[in-house]
Structure 1
Amino acid sequence: MSESLKLVVSRSGSADPCATWQHRTVADDAALAATASEMGLSEAFLRQCLDPDEIPHIDREGEQILLLLQAPWTHEEVTAPLFMDTVPLGILLRPTGVVTISAKPLPLWDRLHRELCGEGARSLQREAFLARFFTELARDFLGAIDRLEAQLEVAKEQLRRSQSNAEFFRLLSLQKSLIYLTAALRGNLATGERLLHSPRWQGNAEEQEQLRDALEDLRQARDTAELMTSTTTNAMDAFAGTLQNNITVAIRVVTAWTVVITVPIAVISIMAMNTPLPLHDWPYAWPVLMGGSFVASGLLYLALRRSQWL
């Protein structure tokens, strides 16, 4: 079902100085149909806000304009195929106000609601709301990249000592998350630039500067994500060889210890045979032979240590 947050947003050029910001979390087809019917729009037009494959763009139906953007979304499940994904969200600019739509209850909406609807909140022009929205969106992307960077460092450290593929696939998941974020940032930047230079943008100098700053933050996040993606790709190529080398080292150590313990085992096996053996009647045969085998094993151990097999 849909959830609604409300904010008074001033419409520039309107006789009525106030209108309503409504946020709708649309989780299923029934909620989508109800929202489309209430807004007087087709379901196909609003379904873009729920389609994860839609790229950011600006669309229009009648007098209502839809800004479709992407926001970062962190998966809570540890076994999720992606550490971080992107989810679509829509900003519907109506003659009577602004409606935001998303399929996920993003923290972005709560922050905007606390800031814009709290005590001392004032009525906002539509452009001021959009500028603030882009600022919070850029903040989310920068925070997402910081979390990804921390996860990457942990994954790289684990992979240095790993002998299994689990850490390698975790690093692959983080790399795919970076690719998704980079693609979303590129689309958001293009849409924001188009909005800024559109005749529909009627913000004042302060609002225009705030939107430019938000776009600059998005650009910084995009550049950082692209650099991290390139670095991670190179690191994965290097760690693929490191993983194989770790397995080789483990096999080499096991082989070396097998050689070390072979001598005492061979002596014990021979002495345990039920057949006449040399020195069979000598009372010191067992301690001498076993002591000699342990000395030989010790010399083998020192030789293997010197050759760095152990």
Structure 2
Amino acid sequence: MVRIFKTADGALEQLEEPADGCWIALTDPTATEIFEIAQKFGIEVDDLRAPLDEEERSRIEAEDNYTLILVDIPALEERNDKDWYVTIPMGIIVVDKVIITVCLEDTPVLSSFMDGRVRNFYTYMKTRFILQMLYKNANMYLHYLRIIDKKSEQIEDLLHSSQKNKELIELLELEKCLVYFTTSLRSNELVLEKLMKIDSIKHYPEDEDLLEDVIIENKQAIEMAGIYSNILSDMTEAFASIISNNLNIVMKFLATVTIVLSIPTIIFSAYGMNLKGIGMPFADHPQGFLIVCLFSLVVCLVVALIMAKKKLF
């Protein structure tokens, strides 16, 4: 899908055809759309397709008539009927008179600009627009990181009561999300460092504060992702140890009960053998059966008390 926007008289308008100072947003474009844009603005087709590859790395490439900026942005992915967080590439291509964005799906990073929810946004101010997108991207990382933190707290509460494998698997999924975030944020940090030095992107003094804010937000997101990742890792190991310890306690209890219950089994097995009554205690006594049962019960109680004193129950 191709959408074209341009700021006019302080308002964002959607156009049918590209114009000077416009923004062309490509969302999961078809091969025909990619070829048309590449032909019209002199862009390599491979550079337009690069952001559509989920494994593409973040980078900046300066060509003769355009500059390609690739960054990773956070996105939602549904697995097992639940939303988890991954990262996908987003391409920003700066040509002489327009700016082009390419992404696999609609993302809040760009939709906030399309909806006019970003202040001081002008499509013809390309450098500021790039920095605003990168700032919004860092904010989205921070937003999703806070959601991940809340989810981990909810799972922790469930683990205190249930301690099932399901909750541990969800913790591992969240930890995987944080690994994606940390890797992508560090790659984006390298892009920001290069963006400060590259000559093909014009630098304006009034945008220096915005660039500094972008770098600070990105560093904060990296630190938060690292902290949450460490917490989740320690939490997962702790609860895995607790579940294993609880299993050992249950097995110890069952083993103790088995020992206690084996005593009457041994006694009754001896009396159940096909032998003559001579030599068998209480074999000829009229209350022999009751006496043997009481004797077995007493022995079981004695063994159970010994086990209890040793805290095996």
1:57 touches 1:69 (CA, 8 Å); kept in 2? yes
Q: 1:201 to 1:261 in 2, by over 3 A?
A: farther
The more displaced of 146-155 and 48-57 is 146-155
Question: Residue 23 of structure 1: SS of its match in structure 2?
Answer: strand
Matches within 5 A, 1:163-178: 170-178=170-178
1:19 counterpart SS class: coil
**1:23 Cα deviation (Å)?**
1.8
**Cα distance per residue 1:130-160 (max 9 Å; x no partner):** 2321221111111222233344445666677
The structure-2 alpha-carbon separation of the partners of 1:202 and 1:296, relative to structure 1 and needing over 3 Å to count, comes to same
Alignment counterpart, residue 58 of structure 1, candidates 48, 57, 60: 60
Counterpart for residue 214 of structure 1: 214
State whether structure 2 residue 287 is matched by structure 1 residue 284: yes
Whether 1:225 and 2:228 are equivalent positions in the alignment is no
| Structure 1 segments unaligned to the other structure (5+ residues) | 11-16
Between the aligned partners of 1:291 and 1:50, the Cα distance in structure 2 is: 80
Give the gaps of 5 or more residues in structure 2: 9-18
The farther-off stretch of 153-162 and 55-64 is 153-162
The separation in 2 between residues aligned to 1:229 and 1:150, in whole angstroms, is: 13
Counterpart in the other structure of 2:49: 47
Correspondences of 1:266-285 after superposition (within 5 Å): 266-273=266-273, 275=275, 276=277, 277-285=280-288
Q: Give the drift of 1:190.
A: 2.1
Aligned residues: CA RMSD: 3.7
Q: For the residues of structure 1 that align with 2:45 and 2:65, how far apart are their CA atoms?
A: 16
CA distance in 2 between partners of 1:186 and 1:144 (Å): 16
Residue 5 of structure 2 corresponds to 7
The offset of 1:59, in angstroms, is 1.4
Matches within 5 A, 1:218-257: 218-233=218-233, 241-242=241-242, 244-257=244-257
Q: Which of 1 and 2 has greater Rg? A: 2
Alignment length (residue pairs) = 299
Distance 1:30 1:302 in 2: 83
| Cα distance between partner residues in 2 of 1:305 and 1:154 | 37
Deviations, residues 155-209 of structure 1 (Å, cap 9, x unaligned)? 666677888866655544433332221121112122123324444233452x432
How many angstroms does 1:35 deviate by? 4.7
Letter of the aligned partner of 1:50 in structure 2? L
Partner in structure 2 of residue 202 of structure 1: 203
Determine if contact 1:185/1:218 at 8 Å carries over to the other structure.
yes
Whichever residue aligns with residue 296 of structure 2, its letter is: S
1:57 Cα deviation after fit: 1.5
Q: Residues 47-67 of structure 1: CA distance to partner in whole angstroms, max 9, x if unpaired?
A: 221233332211133322111
Q: 2:143 and 2:78 mapped to 1: Cα distance?
A: 16
Shift of 1:127: 2.8
Residue number among 268, 292, 296 corresponding to 1:293 in the alignment: 296
Q: Percent identity?
A: 21
Which letter does structure 2 place at the counterpart of 1:95?
D
